Structure 1
Amino acid sequence: MFGSNNWGELGSREGSSLLLLRGRMIDFAAGAWHYIAIMESGSVYGWGKARLGQLGDGLYGAIPLGGKGMAPSPIEGIPFRPKKVVCGKDFTYLVSDPSQGKHHLLGKDKFNIISNMPEHVKNWKDIGATWHAIFVLINDGTLTAWGKENMWKLLPPNLPLLDKIAVGSDHILAVTKEGKLISWGWGKHGNCGDLSNIGAEMKNDMVSGFWNEINIPGEIQTIGAGYCTSFVVTKQG
């Protein structure tokens, strides 16, 4: 790992770091300044910024300098064996296997991110997080979401059934069951596709309350989303 280390993002106080975790990693996620790894054994490790509880309350109390980061440390107290993790800007969301759909959030209840959690997310297919919201795609193609919604609607009305989702910092890219590519959220930088022909009213470049269909030649194989960016891999010919 290389890069900025203001919050211990590299898992050490040095300028670069080779992380040594015992066992095989089965999932990994990054927030703005914190990182989470799930190991095959079921143990969970976190490092980086911790002052908002995104690495659990136990680690926060053990970190010097007001939560300024540490080497990868085990996170205790997760009430199930996690299989999937996603990170928002300042929170960590852990989920069990789809048959149980148990879930747990580490962090503060900002934007009701904890108090609005559903009872479970059974039969989940994929999960993603913007900076301040969580999105869960269910096997039947339905999408559920909760979190910050004062800038754009997390779920447009009459959303078609979905096959794939990719969740960026503040926008969503999705492939419908019919193979169409759609997007919504903050689209200022072209990450929601060409918005010049949108008939609906838009404020602050927000695709909110509807979605934008993006026409790309070929059969969509993979999609991805980041900070104001979207990525699509297609098969042609």
Structure 2
Amino acid sequence: MPFKLLAWGANTYGQLGLGLKSESCLSPKEVVSDDPALAMRDVISIVGGGGHTLIMDSKGELFSCGRNSKGQLGRKECEGKNDADPKLGLVSLEEEDRAIQIACGWDSSYCITWGYKLLVWGRNTDGQLGIPKNEHPTIVKPMKVPRLGDLKQVAAGQRHALVLTKDGHVLACGNGSKGQLGILDHTRAPLKELEHFREVPELSDIVQIACGLHFSAALDNKGRIWVWGDNHHGQLGIDPASLKNIHVPQCLNISSTFDPALTANKVVKIYCGWTHMAARTSSRALIIWGRNNYGQLGCHESMRPEPWKPQLIDKLEGVRRMAVGAEHNVVLTESGSILSWGWNEHGNCGTGDDKNVLMPSQITIAQPGKVIAVGAGSGHSFALVEEPYNDS
């Protein structure tokens, strides 16, 4: 069956891969690639940063488009150029390197390889690539981070990054001004910056990591969520009036914040926006909390007087996949529907206009098919669709 990749939202730098730049794209449009190496049927992951996009296929090859001001596209033909590229092109990986997982910071890019190593490229002025910034303020070609291996996941915030080892430990690097590194110095103050990945203390048996703008989170094998960093908007699930920052990981006790009966369903996946957070349960329900100024929590601000308290989104069931942008959300349900809500200034929610979306709303696709995956960057979104055969 034919496959197509759809994109919508901010496209100032061509991050939608439509072959053109525009302030916004209000409805889903088809991504067209001139690169013969990219077959849409092979796409398995789509992630985005502030103005660029990374796409990974089942063969472990990477493709990028959008802004390249700091070398974040990682493409040979773009080396030495700051120009944005609105067309997807092949990232310059070495012959032996194949990707198994990818992440984007604001203007930096990350990749875990088949050999469980970390490749990095893009901006490094805060040490967010885990390499000394004075030697490499920017990296335009993917580079292996030395003395780092046996990794299974990487996550990135605006200017910091986390990696998860195969044995369940978490390492952090980059900017720590809000406590997002989770590591203290000899005076018990939060480390302001780290140019090399260092282990975050007191975390073990971690199965997943996620990063927000200036905060971090981890999920352990018991379904417990650990949070640290900036909490000015309640994104750590704690009342910001009592605690603005958390400098070391703290376990978020979800059962104390809403109906304990709901916690019978174990949390199996966590997601971070810039200032909000979500968790998917084993029953495929969605719990969400944090900032709600754009409707990020799936309701009007007046409906959540204590937005820092984790709460189920009503009438949203069967969530199969989720992608979170800066302040908007996209989900794929078991029924095959794509729903979105939150910040919509650039058409990020794909509803056909630029009004913020205050509750999960279905995205209409011109030629509907089976939706396989969703993805998101800061202000842009994607959906991979398998089209039915046309017998006519």
- 2:129 and 2:189 mapped to 1: Cα distance? 15
1:42 deviation in Å? 2.2
Q: Does 1:162 pair with 2:162? A: no
1:107 to 213, 226, 229: 229
Q: Report the counterpart of residue 194 of structure 2 in structure 1.
A: 69
Q: Does 1:136 pair with 2:279? A: yes
**Helix, strand or coil at the partner of 1:46:** strand
1:83 to 207, 218, 226: 207
The aligned runs of 1:1-237 (5 Å cut-off) are 1-11=120-130, 12-13=132-133, 14-15=135-136, 16=139, 18-58=144-184, 67-78=192-203, 80-97=204-221, 100-114=222-236, 115=238, 117-119=252-254, 123-156=266-299, 157-196=314-353, 205-215=355-365, 217-236=368-387, 237=389
Alpha-carbon spacing, 1:118–1:185, altered in 2? closer, same or farther (3 Å): farther
Q: Is the 8 A contact 2:219 2:269 kept in 1?
A: no
1:153 deviation in Å? 4.6
1:118 deviation in Å? 4.2
**Helix, strand or coil at the partner of 2:195:** coil
Partner amino acid, structure 1, of 2:125? N
1:45 deviation in Å? 1.0
Alpha-carbon spacing, 1:220–1:21, altered in 2? closer, same or farther (3 Å): farther
Structure 1 consecutive aligned stretches of length 4 or more whose deviation exceeds 4 Å: 59-64
Q: Is the 8 A contact 2:295 2:343 kept in 1?
A: yes
Higher relative contact order (CA 8 A, sep 6+): 2
Partner amino acid, structure 1, of 2:348? N
- 2:383 and 2:186 mapped to 1: Cα distance? 38
- 1:61 and 1:172 mapped to 2: Cα distance? 39
Q: Is the 8 A contact 1:183 1:214 kept in 2?
A: no
Q: Which moves more between the two structures, 82-91 or 147-156? A: 147-156
Q: Identity over the aligned pairs, expressed in percent?
A: 24
Q: Is the 8 A contact 1:50 1:59 kept in 2?
A: no
1:171 deviation in Å? 0.7
Alpha-carbon spacing, 1:185–1:59, altered in 2? closer, same or farther (3 Å): farther
Q: Report the counterpart of residue 200 of structure 1 in structure 2.
A: none
TM-superposition CA deviations, 1:110-164 (whole Å, max 9, x none): 2223316443675233321110111111121210011111331503443343222
Q: Is the 8 A contact 2:296 2:329 kept in 1?
A: no
**Helix, strand or coil at the partner of 1:53:** coil
Q: Which moves more between the two structures, 43-52 or 29-38? A: 43-52
Q: Is the 8 A contact 2:267 2:281 kept in 1?
A: yes
- 2:219 and 2:185 mapped to 1: Cα distance? 20
Q: Is the 8 A contact 1:195 1:212 kept in 2?
A: no
Alpha-carbon spacing, 1:60–1:146, altered in 2? closer, same or farther (3 Å): farther
1:210 deviation in Å? 4.5
Q: What residue ranges of structure 2 are gaps of 5+ in the alignment?
A: 1-119, 240-251, 256-262, 300-313
Q: Is the 8 A contact 1:9 1:35 kept in 2?
A: yes
Alpha-carbon spacing, 1:125–1:38, altered in 2? closer, same or farther (3 Å): same
Partner amino acid, structure 2, of 1:221? I
1:43 deviation in Å? 2.2
- 2:275 and 2:384 mapped to 1: Cα distance? 27
- 2:350 and 2:170 mapped to 1: Cα distance? 37
1:76 deviation in Å? 0.9
**Helix, strand or coil at the partner of 2:128:** coil
Q: Is the 8 A contact 2:154 2:164 kept in 1?
A: yes
Partner amino acid, structure 1, of 2:340? S
Q: Is the 8 A contact 2:129 2:161 kept in 1?
A: no
- Return the structure number with greater strand share: 2
| TM-score between the two structures when normalised by the length of structure 1 | 0.84
- 1:31 and 1:61 mapped to 2: Cα distance? 25
Partner amino acid, structure 2, of 1:129? C
- 2:122 and 2:363 mapped to 1: Cα distance? 36
The count of aligned residue pairs is 226
The structure with more radius of gyration: 2
- 1:50 and 1:165 mapped to 2: Cα distance? 27
Alpha-carbon spacing, 1:234–1:84, altered in 2? closer, same or farther (3 Å): same
Q: Is the 8 A contact 1:169 1:227 kept in 2?
A: yes
1:106 deviation in Å? 1.6
